[in-house]
Each structure stands twice: as C-alpha cells, then as structure tokens.
Amino acid sequence: MKALLLENIHPVATQALRDAGYEVETRPRSLSEDELVEALPGVSLLGIRSNTHITPRVLDAGKDLLAIGCFCIGTNQVHLAEAAARGIAVFNAPYSNTRSVVELVIGEIIALARRLLEKSERMHQGVWDKSAKGSHEIRGRTLGIVGYGNIGTQLSNVAEAIGLRVVFYDTADRPAHGNARRCRSLDELLEVSDIVSLHVDGRPGNAGMFGAEQFAKMKPRSMFINASRGMVVDEVALRDHILSGHIAGAAIDVFPIEPKAQGDPFDSPLRGLENVILTPHVGGSTQEAQEEIGHFVSGKFLAFVNQGSTALSVNLPAVAPPHPQGAFRIGYLHTNAPGVLANIQQLIAEAGANVVGQTLTTLGDRGYVITDTDRPLSESQLAELRRSPHTVWLRTYQL
C-alpha cells in the first residue's frame, strides 16, 4: 500500500507508515487539483496540511483512497460530504498544536502593545530610540476572544494567568474558564475589548464575518489578531482602520490567498503598515506541535486500516472498538437504513459464530458497525453482505 504526504509533514509520520510496511512518497509543497488527479491513483493514504484542497474531482481520481489525514486542525480544505459518500475517512489533529497557536498569540499581543517591531527596525537602522511613547503593559487590559473552542479556551487560561481580563463570544454554548466572561453578542465583545483575537473555524458561514462594520465597533486604539482563517477578515477594511489610527496594531497569520510553496511571492494590502505583524501561517508550526501532529494522525491512519477504528474521524461515524485477542473483526460502513444490523446478525448466526463484541453508531446518512466474532464468516457470506444495496464497504481484520 502507498501513502502520499504533502506540505512538509513531519518525518515521524513518514517513519511510522514505513515501519508499518507502507511505501511513502513525500513532497514539500501542496499540489493543485490537476496534480492531485495525476498523483492519486494507487495511493491509499493521503496526508495534507491546510494548503491542499480536496475537491470532488480529486476524490473521483482517488479510487484507491482509504483515508485522508489533515495534519493540522482545520478540515475545510476537504470536501467532507463527498469523502463520506465514497467511504473515505478524514482525520485531523484538533488538539496537537493548540499550545503553539496560543503562545504565538500571546507573543504578538505583547509585541504589539510594546511596539517591538518598530523598536527593532530602528535599532537595525542604527537608531537608538529609547522612548516609552506608545508602549503599554498588557496587564489589566481586556482580551476579547471570538471562538471559544480548543484554542480559544487555552488562550483564555494563559491570558488570564498573565494579567489580562478575558471576555469571549461563541455561537455555541461553551462554559467559561476561570474568570472569563461570556458576551451575549459580538458587538458587546467589540465594545469592551482592548484586544480582539479570532479563533473561529473555516465553515462557509464564517467567510467575511469581520469587516468594516466590525472594525468600526472596536474600541479606539485597540489591537486585532487573526490566527484562524484568512477568509474570515476583510483585509482592505483592516488596512483602512489601521491607516486611520482607529486600530493601533494588528497581527495576521492567515490570509485569503496563500502561496503554495516555500519561497513563493506573497502580497497583501497589509504589507508595509506600521505596527502590523505578518506571519506565514505558522501558528501551529513549532517542532513540538508538528512532531505531535505527525504521531497523532499517522496513528489514526494505522488504527483505521489495521483495526477499523474511526475514532475522531470528522466525516464518518466515529467508532472506537475494543481490542479482543484472537477475534475476527468485520468493519461495515453502510447507508443508515432500517434492517442493516439484523442482516448482519442473521449472517453471523448462520455461520455458527458467537459475537464477542459489537460497537456501532451513525452519522447523517452513514452507519458504521464493528463486529468481533469467535470465528470468521465464510467468503460466500461476506460476498452476500457486500452485494447489499446498503453497503458502502466491508473489511475484515484478524486481531
């Protein structure tokens, strides 16, 4: 079996898959749709990061694909519904780089408040500018976090520990950490925050959620940070509010259009602005985070292929089966319809097999059941189940 890993995925993932017997091809950059269509035949496992987009056409070309691993947090670069329709599992790493993103944001808050970019640039120009003008402590300031998920909550904890007051807004009902206070609306958060930091996901409904209207509602001389998704923010509106002086500084790590490969040219309306930090989508790009992501997603690949586990899959029913020794396992992905489970049980009974474990769940129009028995079903019985109109795929494992 072959795995294709793109975009400089950490070598621990390559090694884990090679140790498991895979032929692994690595490429340092993302691939275009045409390049993916050409590269995917024969590939069972595809590893990507945020810059590779998996369209229905790409999925059509991936006839041998079993799973896609997003070696990052986001999965909006993959057409999840089309992958699910084809029975291709998609995994990501929702927790592995949260600390790295949080540390970057905290560093940016301090750098913006102290105007460290300007001080450093003037020193490099040979100018000694020892002045407190425009430089502030962050202690006692209010940080507004938009999106209170894995990253937002950890940022909340760290920010409070260094003396920031924290308010947050999220469309989901999430409990507050520490002394953080929930805002009932985005407008309420913008009205009270000295710093606004975005940590929302890439769902289509979030596109353009932060534009001229939202910047105008922020406090005068407040600071703005986006380490979530580039398409969320209107960069031109941000530029206008920085040039007007309404926004005192900004730090942007994600952009609506990002270069495909290392060293490619980059452009943005935010280039050249005073007290604006631009970083090339490196929020989660620390050695520690990338190594942890490499271990995590490659582990999900192998558990799926070798044991049928879909634990933490973002598009298929998530089943985390036990590990009975000596059992014969059937992994069965099917349409979510009445009578499917009864059909499986009947075949098992006809085989004279005893069920030693069974785990199942559904997600939308898909159901997934893992059944462990004390003896295998015959090939003719398995073939009968495969012929069912409800079958997406059926795979067997010996534990």
Which residues are marked as active site? 229, 258, 281
DSSP string, 62-94: -TT--EEEESSS--TTB-HHHHHHTT-EEE--S
Q: Are 378 and 328 in contact (CB under 8 A)?
A: no
CA–CA separation, 237 and 96 (whole Å): 33
CA atoms within 13 A on the CB side of 314: 22
Please state, in angstroms and as integers, the Cα–Cα distance from residue 342 to each residue in 50, 151, 263, 376, 389, following that order.
41, 43, 57, 18, 15
- Tell which residue, 334, 182, 35, 51, has the closest CA to residue 43: 35
CA–CA separation, 333 and 298 (whole Å): 22
CA–CA separation, 145 and 149 (whole Å): 10
Residue 333 CB contacts under 8 Å (≥ 6 apart), including other chains: 87, 316, 317, 366, 367, 368, 391, 392, 393, 394
Helices (H), 271-375: 287-307, 340-350
Q: Are 190 and 169 in contact (CB under 8 A)?
A: no
Q: Any idea which residue has 């998996």 for tokens?
A: 54
* Partners of 197 in beta bridges: 145, 225
Helix, coil or strand: residue 261 = coil
CA–CA separation, 108 and 113 (whole Å): 8
Q: Are 41 and 61 in contact (CB under 8 A)?
A: yes
Sheet of 222-226: strands edge to edge? 181-182, 165-169, 142-146, 195-198, 222-226, 247-252, 276-278
| CA end-to-end span of the chain | 20
